[in-house]
Amino acid sequence: MNLLWLQSGGCGGCTLSLFNADVRDLPATLAGCGIDLLWHPSLSEASGADAVNLLRDCIEGRVALDILCLEGAVMRGPQGSGRFHMLAGTGEPMMAWVRRLAAVARHTVAIGSCAAFGGVTRGGSNPGEACGLQYEAEEAGGLLGEDFRSPSGLPVINVAGCPTHPNWVIETLAALAQGTLGVDDLDGFARPRLYADHLVHHGCTRNEYYEFKASAEKPSDLGCLMENMGCKGTQAHADCNIRLWNGEGSCTRGGYACISCTEPGFEEPGHPFAVTPKVAGIPVGLPTDMPKAWFVALAALSKSATPKRVRDNATADHQIVTPRTRRTGLK
């Protein structure tokens, strides 16, 4: 399958993340999945007229386009003209090229939260009128419209994340190449369920602290980051603590609260990222599946049963009390 990768309004961080995939040779890995990389702005030698001619060949059917990947938000400004982002050497806005290419591509894939939902690029007053391919934050629409379906019958596939995990990208592309990714394999925001059926909370190394509601009070503390430090790991759809970054890391393992970067609108939560908003001392953002009354009851019970080891370690920057050594009684 032929793959074309374009970049629009963004930082290029998803490409940088992809380059950190745990593979020896990225192009060879894609080729092994049956994917031929037609063009990528950082990997391909072709530039200028050669690159533009390739886009024209795809649009006019001289070169088959199986997968169109867009990284970065679509820039529609000023006033819907798209002239804030022109494709060099063509005199036309990038968004016009994306529309034409999406119309002929067998599959269209949004790489990262900017391409999926607008992301950080659409933050603030959004002077660039940035949007995603098929969403603008949580609202369906975006550049291509709510009813857009590619020739394969699929909507835009939103591999959301800021940046997106390299394996989410590779596995999504491999599934498309093998014909094993269908509508049922996408969640409510058209994110691949291969990672979106999980929560960042799953596999978090701070889960013992979460269970006992032993909370961190400052960034260097070992405790759970949900109660005071703004962590949304119990609400964010991603497998970051199961499928580790670079084989060993994640935001929470590095001491940073999860900011829910795979979710639409994460860039403007309405409060500082490292602060947990509360009402009457209760966090506003509760676990997705838990009624408020249950959480309050569980938190009260958990805190009353917190072992001293867990309580003391929660507000320290290293383990100061180790688990007790005792026989388990098992034979």
Per-residue pLDDT tens digits for 24-50: 899 999 999 999 999 999 999 999 999
Q: Tell me the mean pLDDT in the region 258-278.
A: 94
Question: Mind listing the pLDDT tens digit for each residue in 109-129?
Answer: 999 999 999 999 999 999 999
Q: In whole angstroms, what is the distance from residue 286 CA to residue 276 CA?
A: 10
| All structural domains of the chain with their residue ranges | 2-196, 199-321
User: What pLDDT sits at residue 280?
Assistant: 78
Per-residue confidence at 299, pLDDT binned at 50, 70, 90?
confident
- Lowest mean pLDDT segment, chosen from 57-61, 91-95, 302-306: 302-306
Q: Write the pLDDT tens digit of every residue in 75-108.
A: 999 999 999 999 999 999 999 999 999 999 999 9
* DSSP designation for 10: S
Considering only residues 208 and 286, tell me which one the structure prediction assigns the higher pLDDT.
Answer: 208
pLDDT more than 90, % of the chain: 87
pLDDT band at 226 (very low <50, low <70, confident <90, very high): very high
**Mean pLDDT in residue range 280-294:** 79
pLDDT tier at 303, thresholds 50, 70, 90: confident
Highest mean pLDDT among 21-25, 41-45, 143-147, 284-288: 143-147
Give the C-alpha separation, 53 to 47, whole Å. Answer: 10
The vertex-190 CA angle with 253 and 184, nearest 5°, equals 105
Using CB atoms within 10 Å of the CB of residue 2, give its burial: 0 to 12 exposed, 13 to 18 middle, 19+ buried: middle
* Model pLDDT, residue 14: 98
How far apart CA 72 and CA 133 sit, in angstroms, is 10
Which of the two residues, 292 and 35, has the higher pLDDT score? 35
Contacts of 110 (CB under 8 A, 6+ apart): 69, 70, 116, 132, 133, 134, 156, 157, 158, 159, 160
Please report which confidence band the pLDDT of residue 328 belongs to, taking 50, 70 and 90 as the band edges: confident
Question: What does the pLDDT read at residue 184?
Answer: 98
Domain 2-196, CATH class in plain words: alpha beta
pLDDT of residue 330: 67
User: What does CATH list as the number for 199-321?
Assistant: 4.10.480.10
Confidence of residue 304 (pLDDT cuts 50, 70, 90): confident
Check whether 198 has a pLDDT greater than 80. yes
| Residue scoring higher pLDDT (60 or 286) | 60
pLDDT at 188 over 80: yes
Report the mean per-residue pLDDT for the chain.
94
Amino acid identity of 76?
R
How would residue 159 be classed by pLDDT, with cut points 50, 70 and 90? very high
In three-state secondary structure terms, 69 is strand
Please report the pLDDT score of residue 268 as a whole number: 95
pLDDT at 284: 79
238-273 burial, b if ≥16 CB within 10 A, otherwise e?
bbbbebbbeeeebbbbeebbbbbbbbbbbbebeeeb
What tokens does 285 get? 């953002």
Rounded to whole angstroms, the Cα distance separating 205 from 219 reads 15
| Tokens 């745990």 -> residue | 22
- Contact present, 73 and 8 (Cβ < 8 Å): yes
